[in-house]
Amino acid sequence: MPGLYFLSDVHLGLQEPQAERLKLERLDALFSMIRKEGGALYLLGDILDYWMEYRHVIPKGFTRFLCMLSELTRSGVEVSWLAGNHDFYLGRYFNDELGVKTYYGLQEVRHDGKLFLVAHGDGLGEGDLGYRLFARLVRNRFNLGLLTGFHPDLATALMKKLSRLSRTHKRVDIRVESTRLIDFATALARERVFDYFVCGHNHFERIQAVDDSGSTYVNLGSWIEGQYPYGFYDQGHFQIRKV
């Protein structure tokens, strides 16, 4: 049975041109490997640092990546994308044009007799009420309609601003932020049975048992620091690898 690949927090469009080129080169290498080996790819949010979708316009800056995604799905790889707090609204373009399935919030994936709970991680756990309000505001269809009524240059600039606000809303207390998601997974393991809780969001790479039930917490880290991690599951083993 082909394996599962997991990726989050690439933040394409955030950094200087050289760092962005390196990210795209590593993504190209990863996608080429997936095409060769087979399997399914789960993008767990914040792959793009911002995104604005229109009926007839595709935002500049992500063309190479979008073509890579299209090539991946046309080769038969199933790709699922869970929205994060930067790519917080994924419209019909990804489904209709690229063949990428899009989702919001916590999702279940069953594979190889295992249950994976996958999410970006934003808005989960105690606290983070400010972000929950922010997400509800920016994902509101009326507000999205207002944004798409602006000229694309202006609306994209606004989305970049919202992306910066999403980044700066996070807690200053890094210790609390780094444990919020594993605390959520631990509490969830007391309520239901699952094998893996896989997320991103806080950029703290980790694989850790959450309690005696056998459940495992996985955080995929981020690509901002130049490490290029991704998750890989095959035949009962979950690893975080580097491209």
Of 82, 29, 47, 36, nearest to 223 (Cα)?
47
For the entire predicted model, the pTM comes to 0.86
pLDDT single digits (tens) 195-243: 999 999 989 999 999 978 799 999 999 999 999 999 999 999 999 999 9
Q: How many folded domains does the chain comprise? A: 1
The distance in angstroms from the start CA to the end CA of the chain is: 22
The domain in which residue 38 lies consists of 4-242
Cα-only R_g, the chain: 17
Q: Which pLDDT belongs to residue 140?
A: 64
Q: What length is written for the chain?
A: 243
Q: 193-205 burial, b for 16+ CB within 10 Å, e for fewer?
A: ebbbbbbbbbbbb
Residues 117, 90, 157, 142, CA torsion sign: negative
* Mean pLDDT of all residues in 3-28: 96
What pLDDT does 54 receive? 74
Beta pairing, strands 101-103 & 78-82: parallel
Residue 176: the pLDDT is 46
Please give the pLDDT value at position 169. 45
Q: How confident is the model at residue 132 (pLDDT cuts 50, 70, 90)?
A: low
Grouping H, G, I as helix, E, B as strand and the rest as coil, residue 150 is coil
Cα(218)–Cα(88) distance, integer angstroms: 21
- Local structure of residue 13 (DSSP, 8 states): T
- Model confidence band, residue 172 (pLDDT cutoffs 50, 70, 90): very low
In the predicted model, is pLDDT for residue 110 greater than 50?
yes
- Tokens standing for 36? 């060769």
CATH code of the domain covering residue 120: 3.60.21.10
Confidence (pLDDT) at 171: 46
CB 240 within 8 A of CB 9: no
pLDDT digits (tens, 9 = 90+) for 34-47: 999 999 999 999 99
How much is the pLDDT for 175? Answer: 44
- Higher pLDDT, residue 209 or 169: 209
Q: Cα(40)–Cα(26) distance, rounded to whole angstroms? A: 18
pLDDT 10s digits, 46-98: 999 988 777 777 877 899 999 999 999 999 999 999 998 888 678 889 999 99
pLDDT for 8 equals 98
Q: Which helix (H) or strand (E) holds 133?
A: helix 129-138
Answer yes or no: is pLDDT of 179 > 70: yes
Structure tokens at 184: 């959520």
| More confidently predicted of 165 and 105 | 105
Query: pLDDT averaged over the chain?
Result: 86
> Is the pLDDT at 155 greater than 80, yes or no?
no
CA 58, CA 152: separation in Å to the nearest integer? 9
The pLDDT assigned to 229 comes to 98
- Give Cα separations from 12 to 16, 45, 69, 232 (angstroms): 10, 11, 14, 21
